[in-house]
Chain A
């Protein structure tokens, strides 16, 4: 067991400092490039006007981020629940898996941009449609990792359970489910980042003409109005939102696994 003796603040710094430095270098490079090549602001504003725009539209950006965050989180949860159910069905019989897998692939290969308008037609131009597009994008990683975790069992462990007359349910509760957790944590991390992408795509098509809207609609609107600074600010906000959701899911996974699994060390 590797004990980390460094104080928590030092450990956090070690992970936070390098990306911070990189970010500052990036901002500097961006600023220099805009000035050097005299790029017009409608193409790419420098970091300063983007920041000023973010401050000026702070309330709008915050509300949009909150709404997108809620839609992405809900979409993520829906994809986890449905993904787990499908993975469970797949793990119960090779026949079901063979029959269903090509259709599960649909969620991976379908262009979300193409079906998002359909979803809006079917489910209305509101929060529900955004959650659905978000869930579709996040579903596949949960199905594949969940199925793998429920079926990739150590042969000797299965024999151990068989030798002790374990029932099908005992094998499921005491072997398959716990075995699938590290797989699912990996799948959930991928899915959590994708859920923000899905929500923003959904918002491109839903949420028009409403009082409340998310980052996707904000980007769309700013684009139409040639407010490139606000567009870039909203894009950065959606990236940060993705990172935040990824971080929360990653932390939850770490806490779930830290006692027993090597990947947590």
Chain B
């Protein structure tokens, strides 16, 4: 079950995103990624786990077009030069911190991407209310970020990501700063959002349980420079219930991913 995904899977019709031999060396000489290959199918939920500093977040930023690879390509979304063509990309990013603008209310934070993209009108006003409803923050539309708990801030951040109807949602350890109970609740909420909206999700975490619970596949990265070292299929069907976390099968999968993560860290 640990087959490396090779570059020629890009010919698969349902692949949404293909990273082919991606390397990135920073100006400082640090090699963040080397020969990184990954394919994500449309509508999949794929998690990347790896040791700290292995380049997981760097890869998300490459996909988002915030960084350019030194060599190799990232293609996908039916667009040539995926990373370069900002206009056509329908990507949203959820950061490790909620990254809400403290001077804007929750509602005005959520409509920011629409405002910036120039799509701010009466219809989009309905869209903002819709995503706030989706994350359960309708009552807090007029609140300022500092008035919300950490979990609620993260929900607002999710709502802001979803307001543009993204095809691809990139999540960079979004729940790492939250306590365990809040994290598990938000995991379930994220899954039910995904089941309703069906975006393609690329989720970076260092929490193996979280990765297994959420994903179709869990990719394991090596220590820097990051390469793909294992790719675990997670066979549980969707919709998933929170209870699967206490089954032996779940524990066995977590164990297997954790083992390859341990090997990757050496």
Q: How large is the interface on B (under 10, 10 to 19, 20 to 34, 35 or more residues)?
A: 20 to 34
A157 to B144, CA, bound (A): 17
The reply on A161 being an interface residue by CB < 8 A is yes
Indicate if A212 sits at the interface (CB-CB under 8 A). no
Query: Of B95, B101, B112, B145, which one neighbours A164 at CB under 8 angstroms?
Result: B112
Find chain B residues with CB under 8 A from A34 CB. none
Asked if B115 and A174 make an inter-chain contact with CB atoms under 8 angstroms apart, the answer reads: yes
When distances are taken between beta carbons in the complex, the residues of chain A under 8 Å from B61 are 159
B93 touches A174 (CB 8 A): no
Minimum CB–CB distance for A53 against chain B, Å = 49
Output the least CB separation between A242 and chain B (Å).
30
Closest chain-A Cβ to B81's Cβ sits at a distance in Å of 16
Size of the A side of the interface (Cβ < 8 Å), in residues, is 21
- Bound together, the chains give a CA A27 to CA B103 distance in angstroms of 44
Q: In the complex, are the beta carbons of B144 and A163 less than 8 A apart? A: no
Q: For residue B97, which residues in chain A have a CB less than 8 angstroms away from its CB? A: 154, 156
Question: Which residues of chain A are within 8 angstroms of B93 by Cβ–Cβ distance?
Answer: 159-160, 163
A178 to B145: give the CA distance in the assembly, Å: 15
When distances are taken between beta carbons in the complex, the residues of chain B under 8 Å from A114 are: none
Q: Is B150 an interface residue (CB 8 A)?
A: no
Chain B 128-165 interface 0/1 with A at a Cβ cutoff of 8 Å (1 = within): 00000000000000001111000000000000000010
Known: A159-B95, A178-B101. A260 touches B117 (CB 8 A): no
Q: Which residue of A lies closest to B89 (CB)?
A: A163
Q: Is A236 an interface residue (CB 8 A)?
A: no
A259 at interface by CB-CB < 8 Å: yes
A68 to B: closest C-beta gap in Å: 35
Q: Are B116 and A161 in contact (CB under 8 A)?
A: yes
- Report Cα–Cα, A174/B112, bound state, in Å: 9
Q: Which of A1, A159, A170, A260 contacts B116 (CB 8 A)?
A: A170
Q: Produce 1/0 per residue, A147-171, CB < 8 A to B.
A: 0000000101101111111100010
A263 to B236, CA, bound (A): 48
A166 contacts B103, C-beta separation under 8 Å = no
Q: A156-B95, A156-B99, A157-B99 are in contact. Are A166 and B66 (CB under 8 A)?
A: no
Tell me if B91 and A163 are in contact (CB < 8 A): yes
CA distance A175 to B101 in the complex (A): 8
Shortest distance from the beta carbon of A263 to any chain B beta carbon, whole Å: 11
Give 27 pairs: A residue, B residue, CB < 8 Å, sorted on A. Answer: A154-B99, A156-B95, A159-B66, A159-B95, A160-B93, A160-B95, A160-B99, A160-B113, A161-B116, A162-B66, A163-B64, A163-B66, A163-B91, A163-B92, A164-B112, A164-B116, A164-B164, A165-B87, A174-B101, A174-B112, A175-B101, A178-B101, A259-B103, A260-B144, A260-B145, A261-B102, A261-B146
Please report B residues at the A interface, Cβ cutoff 8 Å: 61, 64-66, 86-87, 91-93, 95-97, 99, 101-104, 112-113, 115-117, 144-147, 164
